[in-house]
Amino acid sequence: MLTQLSKIKLLLYLLLICFYAITNISCSGDKKSIEDIEFKKHYDLGSKYYKERKYQEAIKEFEQAANINPKIADSYFKIGRSYNRLLKYEESIKSYEKGLQINPDAPFRVFFYLGSNNFKLQKYDETINYIKKAQELMTEENSNSEYSVNFLLANSYYYKKDYDNAIRHFNHVLDLKPDYELAYFLLSESHIIKGNNAEAIQILEKGLKQSPNSLYLLQSLSWLLSTSSSDQLRDGQRAVILGERAVDFTEGKNHNCWDILAAAYAEVAQYDNALKSEEKAINVLTNSSIPATLNDSLLVEYKERLSSYKAKKPWRE
């Protein structure tokens, strides 16, 4: 049996253990509380700088917050968004992906920006993977981004030369945004590459009803109506009207417009006008700031067409 003295010693020992335990819990709580305060201070300051468009300063503050508590994914997402604003896409991707390692269930915008950034770096497979994930996470709140999501997918498939998928998504873009002229142009290009010129012409005509002064659409349709190998698809008179509008629209400063107009004139056997227009195309190109390598290849093409018109032959694709 314990003596009275032993009982007192044991009681004192237990009290001492309790005292240390309470003290340690209190200190741990104080430390955690201080970390929370510091984290919030840097995170809020980063948010303030971001709103003020001081993105470098925002990054520094969000990085400080991440150093204090590396388990909060949103700090990395905010760093990624700040790099995005600075057009530093690789750094942005790294930050977003670091945040995803902490929180794989990120919101729509994280996957959308990851897809968009990869597209800008011409990483089309990565773009498709991230944008498809963003698509799965779309809600009513971000439904206004649906056409952008489909446009990114369509473009990625287009540059991967998967034209069937590109066409499917471009069509969906135009269902959502019927006045999107670039979608009409790229959709028509997809059909041209697949050899569906008749379909391409219909798309371009539809696009011009929505955007009558679209240079993309004026040029592309005029060229098709002038140079198609199919007699049934060519319409020289319409091509001339469109080609002249394109030249007027650019005030005669676009060499490509002159080249297209020359083809239209040749299609209606106005070879004097075709020669003048092609010579104008060559002159404008020669005096342009286009890189020499591209300039040289275009000059070869233009001179070939000039020879064709001198021989009173229309141009055929």
Backbone angles phi, psi at 2, to 5 degrees: -75, 140
Mean pLDDT in the chain?
Answer: 90
Using the predicted structure, report yes or no on whether residue 294 has a pLDDT greater than 70. Answer: no
Q: Spell out the residues 6+ positions from residue 22 whose beta carbon is closer than 8 angstroms to its own.
A: none
Which is more confidently placed, 17 or 267?
267
**Domain definitions of the chain by residue range:** 213-317
For residues 314 and 267, the answer to whether their CB atoms sit within 8 Å is yes
The dotted CATH code for 213-317 is 1.25.40
String of DSSP letters for 225-258 = HHH-S-TTT--HHHHHHHHHHHHHHTTT--HHHH
Q: What is the pLDDT of residue 128?
A: 98
Residues above pLDDT 70, as percent of the chain = 88
The predicted pLDDT at position 143 comes to: 86
pLDDT tens, position by position, 209-253? 999 989 999 999 999 999 999 999 999 999 999 999 999 999 999
Sequence-ordered list of residues with C-beta below 8 angstroms from that of 263, at least 6 positions apart, any chain: 222, 223, 226, 227, 239, 243, 274, 305, 314, 315
pLDDT band at 287 (very low <50, low <70, confident <90, very high): confident
